[in-house]
Structure 1
């Protein structure tokens, strides 16, 4: 198929499209993170215990994770613009219903719809990065995409606490849903799928795309990316979305304002660590997995120092632990950079969808496990939890760190062997610090 380039790659138009898509991602992260500081209020509004509170977020992430592969297929078929628009419609509807809901069942349904819309956003933005930016730009832009989206978490921390105090539940979440209407117009006017006049995305048959998912899954590089996302992302997601705020307030004795402020300040560390990791990945592409495992080890050690204490931890130690946990977000983005190495552009939506499943499956399992352990440890509910209950519950993270680390090491070996066999010279090129670009579809039969 002949394709004519009509826009510069990596130029001003690329950045404009990226900014419009990023605004949608920031909104998606805000919606996703809103229960992080509203959890205690939600437990009172709906009259629910810790397990039910966790179910709100767990169901949202189940829907999110379960839709990633179908969304990846649709993304390669219809492009980023269509999926961003569909995601905005679903998120706006879900958050509006959540704003007015007073029963647990309606609230759960609203969060499920919100999760369905959220599922379409991030992988769409990552595909736009691959299409509109140069190979040397992509690792850093991918990192910036990851931590830039966390602006939504900033708004969902201390500012959301203040809004809830002044506007109440319905006013706050109703106002949040209205932002989606504005962004629908922005995306429709600004976003374009490709810098080429004719884009292969719209010509590929949906049935053929669906069949190829098995081939993409069979590539060990895709699984390496998925397990990288799995092991690095979940701790920060669990902390920000649900259990970090109650842990600091109920377990460590912090005020709600102090806890919300720490969660907001964590984003500054995400920005800094993301910039450092983006440069490191571009400089040492062959050692990306080891960089991730080093960050995971730092998280595990920091949490051990907190959880082994029978009394509240000093402020400095909790800040160090929060920053180490926040570093997992940028580290998890390396999973998408790995997918880009092993997957041609035409199949990148499917590969990114599979990668994105990893971290969110780990997150929802950890959230659910923490809620169950808390209820088993203290049946009295949220107001009765103490530090001992949280020490036991938060220790469930180690199960998923160990599992993820073992799988990263396992699939790294398979992925390197795959490159040596199918693409001779690729490993040596990355060892030398030079990025390697997948040559196309035919090589791996995707």
Structure 2
């Protein structure tokens, strides 16, 4: 008896089967993420209202989003470990409880301090959703579907952002602050009930092995984090997320509406339409990027660097144009910003093949820290610069270029090492799975 090579199979041994059941379970899980995004971005259309309600300036307004994202980023590795240990259903349910309480608390916040605490609670719950959805996709769909399923998750998130832009904004000016935020909190209750009743962590016959007792201590947790961080693919994923996500996130999360209204002189309605263009562009570009990466893994780095370069160029043109940029240029800017979210999802596709299944949650947490750290840096920088310059948005938004430069330098430093390591893992995997006894 000798060993002979056979064609590699499209679905590796042990891969989940996918199919209708996978789509159903993933839809239940991603609905929680959808609602979390609505709550996360609801402040983006309420920034000017929040200034009047809490009587604060630009720096204090930034603090709402900074604290929310600080909690979110700080929770990423703990949540990754929780998902690896507890499964997605429990973590998603806990997240839904926390972000619903945070949204409800923000509705009734009588002062600035209470509002801050509510946004922190919301950020904690929000932190538990995206990593859980990624893990759910890995458990229910074949590995070859990973990039596309990940991009779809990002698209669902942008759909939640669209609800904030179109619905929450109108509710705020129709029924007022308290009714709008409290009413939207009901969505959290709905997805919590649906998740409790219907979600399963994995298909039958694909249960993960039980966690050994030796893997439950603090020393093992530290070893997991250290092993994940040592992988260049994990770090490349984090810096990819860092560099690509923040321009659109900051624009949609807080500063887009004030920039367009106060700096560009647009009405709130027109500014809201431009925010919608960012979201619609994100959905279209996400579908394109997902298909490209699924078919051509070599396109990942060019897509990342191309997106960063286009974003920097458009901001340079808008900020350097003069007092008011022409509408066509603002439209092009928002179309380009729509590519930032799909490009940030590529970071997870660098980390996924770099880590074994038992470290996927931890790896996703490390990647996710990147983009939200960049968002916090830029939110703070813009708020401080606005206060220091008397609301000069052109100066304040120049901070974008410094953050992009930092991220690009790290991507260029890590890319060769990470891709070489990924190829080595792929070759080793093929050696193990392609040869069978004759």
Aligned: 1:19 with 2:31: no
**Aligned counterpart for 2:331 among listed residues 310, 319, 333:** 319
- Secondary structure, aligned partner of 2:323: coil
**Cα shift readout 1:371-410 (whole Å, capped 9, x = no counterpart):** 00000001xxxxxx3xxx1110111000111110110111
For the pair 1:410 / 2:393, whether they are aligned, the reply is no
Q: Is the 8 A contact 1:233 1:332 kept in 2?
A: yes
**Cross-structure match for 2:395:** 392
Matching of residues 321-360 of structure 1 within 5 Å: 321-360=333-372
8 A contact 2:239–2:411 mirrored in 1 = yes
Q: Deviations over 1:8-41 (max 9, x none)?
A: 6211111011111111111111111011110000
Q: CA deviation at 1:135?
A: 2.3
Given the alignment, which residue of 166, 169, 182 partners 1:174?
Answer: 182
Cα RMSD after superposing both structures = 2.0
- Establish whether residue 192 from structure 1 lines up as the match of residue 200 from structure 2: yes
Number of paired residues?
A: 417
Deviation at residue 6 of structure 1 after TM alignment: 12
Change (3 A) 1:198 1:269: closer
Pick one of 133, 141, 166 that aligns with 1:133.
141
Deviation of 1:138 (Å):
1.8
Alignment pair present for 1:371 and 2:383: yes
Identify which of 218, 234, 239 aligns with 1:227.
239
Contact 1:7 1:196 in 2 (8 A): no
Q: Deviations over 1:339-394 (max 9, x none)?
A: 1121122210000000000000000110100000000001xxxxxx3xxx111011
Q: Please tell me whether residue 115 in structure 1 is matched to residue 123 in structure 2.
A: yes
Gaps of 5+ in 2: 1-12, 434-438
1:210 is displaced (CA, Å) by 4.1
In the alignment, which residue of structure 2 is the partner of 1:429? none
Match of 2:109 in 1: 101
SS of residue matched to 1:155:
helix
Shift of 1:414: 1.8
Which residue pairs with 1:443 in the alignment?
none
Once residues 250 and 301 of structure 1 are traced to their aligned partners in structure 2, the CA distance between those partners, rounded to angstroms, is: 22
Does the residue aligned with 1:199 lie in a helix, a strand or coil?
coil
Residues 262 and 390 of structure 1, relative CA distance in 2, 3 Å threshold:
same
TM-score (structure 2 length as normaliser): 0.91
1:290-337 Cα distance to aligned partner (Å, 9 max, x none): 210111100000111101112211111001111111211000000111
Say if 1:339 and 1:424 are closer, same or farther in 2 by CA, change over 3 A.
closer
What is the CA deviation profile of residues 404-423 of structure 1, one whole-angstrom value per residue up to 9, with x for unaligned ones? 01101111122134345x53
Task: Provide the C-alpha distance between the structure 2 equivalents of 1:437 and 1:267, rounded to a whole number of angstroms.
Answer: 39
**Most deviating of 277-286 and 65-74:** 277-286
CA distance 1:345–1:8, change in 2 (3 Å): closer
Structure 1 segments of 4 or more deviating over 4 A?
Answer: 5-8, 436-440
* 2:157 aligned residue (139, 149, 156): 149
Q: Residues 58 and 367 of structure 1 are in contact (CA less than 8 Å); yes or no, is this contact kept in structure 2?
A: yes
